[in-house]
Structure 1
Amino acid sequence: MTRAVTRILDADHALAAAAALSESFAEGAGARDAGRELPHEQVQALKDAGLLALSVPVAFGGIDAPASVIAEVFRLLAHADASLAQIPHSHYTFLEAVRLQGTPAQQAFFYEKVLDGALFANAQSERSGRIDVDTTVLLPSASGDYLLSGRKFYSTGALFADWVIVRASVPEDPAQAPTASTPKAVAFVPAGAPGLTVVDDWDGMGQRTTASGTVTLDDVVVPAAHVIPFTPIFAGPSVYGARAQLLHTALDVGIATAALAEGVRQAAKARPHFESEESAAVDDPTLIQLAGNVTVTVRGAQALLAEAGRAVDRATADLTADSAAEASIAVAVAKVAATRASLEAASTLFELGGTRSASGAANLSRYWRDARTHTLHDPTRWKVQHIGRYTLSGTLPPRHGQL
């Protein structure tokens, strides 16, 4: 039986739906993390709510939601459960590849799938060699289709996906090992395709229920209609990377806002320190100072996320080398602030809550574990370098598609 998928009408509808799901997803988030219980029901609810189709263009039946709106949707979801929020990240990133490089027929085909609730997930990262070299290869076959072979890791959400999206090298000479300059494409592989194996072997200390495991591809047959060029995206100015990083930033800000809210709840239950001479912990001036400082940090990250979203929207509407660079830098600034905010808020909540908050049963460490795990994904020390060069000398940040 086909499930009914809600059609989102506009940005306000999207944000309201995300807020409702956030409230629902928060229930049981700690237990799911503690037991590594994969959120199958919650992912289905995300599909049914229509929130996977926000970026589908109006011409194909969507609302073409601004990046700033999609980022706030991600923040709301991450506020409830950072693992759940990360699952559709690559879905939106590869929808951008469809928009930029898909043929009209491919766009019509894949957008229809998404409007009907299909979830895309990534198989992109590899463990060996340089990050910009894909040893997974896509080779033409005699039938006119392609054969896809390789091994991918950290394939977030692949276990829940209707389509696994695989980035692969397309070498002109199959006998030559791929290099960084070998053209790349993305192959859309339906779940259950012969030769596709998805293994839930992710054992990270945080983001524990993202199912970011291993994908193996053994001569998977991929029709040419399901292959989209990837390398040409970066031949000119692009916000592909900025959009992907914006959503990562939203995840970190969501962790920060959630950790701050949890810290406030814990402070209300905490015992006052005997030296404070106050009857309630929330009246302790040292605790008040902590709460004020972390609030400034978290609200600053929220504001920078919103600003970065607007910069991406402006660049999308009027794409030039300068507008793309401005968007990338705005996102980089927000990402640095979000990383700091998520780690600070997730640590400070224990100071606000005192010893009681360290209870294993409460599982409040999940905020810090999620923040620390997710922020390792794309080290902000490199972003600070790009920000500094842009500030001092106007050097444009690099163009690349790392998610």
Structure 2
Amino acid sequence: MSAHVIADDAEALAVAASLAAEFRPGASARDAARRLPRAELDRMSASGLLAVTVPAGHGGADVGARTLAEIFRLLATADASLAQIPQSHFAYVNVIRRQGTSEQREFFFAALLAGRRFGNAQSEAGTRHVQDIRTRLEPRPDGSYVLTGVKHYSTGALFADWIPVLARTGDDRLHVAYVPSGAPGLTVVDDWDGLGQRTTASGTVRLDGVPVPADRVLPHHLTFEGPQLHGALAQLLHAAIDTGIAAGALAEAAEFVRTKSRPWFESGVETAAEDPLLIQRFGELALCTKAAEALLREAARSVDAARADLRDDTAAEASVAVAVAKVQAARAAVEVSSALFEVSGTRSAADSLNLHRHWRDARTHTLHDPARWKIQHIGRFVLNGTRPPRHGLL
């Protein structure tokens, strides 16, 4: 596989906008038929968009958090599933950047610039909680490892060249093992049946004695032993997806009302778009969406500032800013995608139109991690100056 190499932030945004425009017309049909977007992901890889965070010293554009968040927002306005698939990809690029050796960085950054994709195998089902990782990385006499476990919600794994696997060693420390697709003992099962995000293929990964060379394992536990932005960056991208869902739903609602809706007979106007009550509601929905977009930009700015001066205080400020953006984005995505039907009327509920995909995507994606706990951390920080904990979900 070969890929274009994007030069800078401006080109990255232009490419993202172009791909969003290209992906938008087929998004509803892909969702309705659950047609997996392999061709679209290949286009994304070839465009160079998946390598934009490769450091400049390795030939990448090294874009900032604000650019990366906008890339995800743009893609999600067109197709929320397509936007979600590379979220983990960038999170695990960040792991290499922070914890990789010089040899690991050289190897993987070159692969990324050539268009290779990361998936993920991190979450597990049936454990006590999301941080209770039971997949095991057992050492062998020659210094290599063997992976054993079962992962769920493995977004992107089915389409990946490399699958980063979260696992614990005998001392219970967390590591990431980068496993190539097709490795012996690795099985990726397309059993995702969520009501939304239908084409993310967020299914099951089974690891049955998968061999892993020592140089494909990174000490992820070190990430959380000091100030870090791993969680903030990962959550920023989730916030961008929700914000994009809200904007996409709002745009589709406006188009429907302008072209297909009838005015209510009591309004006394000729078209639905002139109905003062609909105008009022669209204004409210726009405020909700614009607030999410503004908070997303502010959160990304905070992440960029912390990256330039990483300390406990700056990392905490970035994490809280991202939590604020994520809470608002989740609210906007669910409210606007639901209100789409309120403003568009009975005709919009036709299953054949598939307008409900926006709500299904919002309702599914916003379950990723609970906003109620983010609000707790926001409140503790604002009231008592308590820094949020160091973990990958905040």
TM-score of the superposed pair, with normalisation by structure 2? 0.98
2:381 counterpart (363, 386, 390): 390
Note the residue ranges of structure 1 that are not aligned, 5 or more in a row: 173-181
1:329 counterpart (306, 320, 329): 320
Report the counterpart of residue 355 of structure 2 in structure 1: 364
> Greater CA deviation, 211-220 or 140-149?
140-149
Alignment partners' CA distance in 2, 1:343 and 1:125: 24
Report the counterpart of residue 161 of structure 2 in structure 1: 162
2:75 counterpart (77, 80, 93): 77
Q: Secondary structure in 1 aligned to 2:289?
A: helix
CA contact (8 A) 1:266 1:349 kept: no
Report the counterpart of residue 175 of structure 1 in structure 2: none
Report the counterpart of residue 34 of structure 2 in structure 1: 36
Q: Say whether residues 1:344 and 2:335 are aligned partners.
A: yes
Q: Say whether residues 1:149 and 2:148 are aligned partners.
A: yes
2:371 counterpart (380, 387, 400): 380
> Greater CA deviation, 189-198 or 123-132?
123-132
1:216 counterpart (206, 209, 215): 206
Instruction: Kindly provide the amino acid, as one letter, of the partner of residue 353 in structure 1.
Output: S
Q: How far did 1:349 drift?
A: 1.2
Q: Deviations over 1:71-94 (max 9, x none)?
A: 100011111100001010001001
Alignment partners' CA distance in 1, 2:75 and 2:277: 32
Report the counterpart of residue 119 of structure 1 in structure 2: 117
Q: Deviations over 1:273-329 (max 9, x none)?
A: 011111111111110110000000000100100010000000000001110000001
Report the counterpart of residue 24 of structure 1 in structure 2: 22
Instruction: Kindly provide the amino acid, as one letter, of the partner of residue 75 in structure 2.
Output: L
Alignment partners' CA distance in 2, 1:228 and 1:196: 19
CA contact (8 A) 2:232 2:393 kept: no
Q: Secondary structure in 1 aligned to 2:69?
A: helix
List 4+ stretches of structure 1 deviating above 4 A. Answer: none
Alignment partners' CA distance in 1, 2:133 and 2:318: 27
Q: Say whether residues 1:316 and 2:315 are aligned partners.
A: no
Q: Deviations over 1:84-115 (max 9, x none)?
A: 01010001001111011100000000000000
Q: How does 1:1-400 map to 2 (within 5 A)?
A: 3-129=1-127, 130-172=129-171, 182-268=172-258, 269-400=260-391
Instruction: Kindly provide the amino acid, as one letter, of the partner of residue 181 in structure 2.
Output: A
Instruction: Kindly provide the amino acid, as one letter, of the partner of residue 167 in structure 2.
Output: A
Alignment partners' CA distance in 1, 2:224 and 2:60: 26
Q: How far did 1:143 drift?
A: 2.5
Q: How far did 1:402 drift?
A: 3.3
CA contact (8 A) 2:152 2:204 kept: yes
Q: How far did 1:332 drift?
A: 0.5
Q: Deviations over 1:358-400 (max 9, x none)?
A: 1111100000000000000011011111111111111111110
Q: Deviations over 1:177-217 (max 9, x none)?
A: xxxxx201000000101100000000000000000000000
Q: Deviations over 1:207-256 (max 9, x none)?
A: 00000000000110000000000111000110110000000000000000
Alignment partners' CA distance in 1, 2:57 and 2:278: 53
> Greater CA deviation, 348-357 or 389-398?
348-357
CA contact (8 A) 2:72 2:83 kept: yes
Report the counterpart of residue 177 of structure 1 in structure 2: none
Instruction: Kindly provide the amino acid, as one letter, of the partner of residue 73 in structure 1.
Output: I
Alignment partners' CA distance in 2, 1:402 and 1:350: 32
TM-score of the superposed pair, with normalisation by structure 1? 0.96
Q: Secondary structure in 1 aligned to 2:352?
A: coil
Note the residue ranges of structure 2 that are not aligned, 5 or more in a row: none
Alignment partners' CA distance in 2, 1:126 and 1:215: 10
Alignment partners' CA distance in 2, 1:147 and 1:85: 32
Alignment partners' CA distance in 1, 2:292 and 2:393: 22
Alignment partners' CA distance in 1, 2:247 and 2:125: 32
Instruction: Kindly provide the amino acid, as one letter, of the partner of residue 131 in structure 1.
Output: V
Q: How far did 1:4 drift?
A: 3.3
Alignment partners' CA distance in 2, 1:288 and 1:314: 39
Q: How far did 1:134 drift?
A: 1.2
Report the counterpart of residue 176 of structure 1 in structure 2: none
Identity percentage of aligned residues? 56
For the aligned residue pairs, the C-alpha RMSD in angstroms reads 0.8
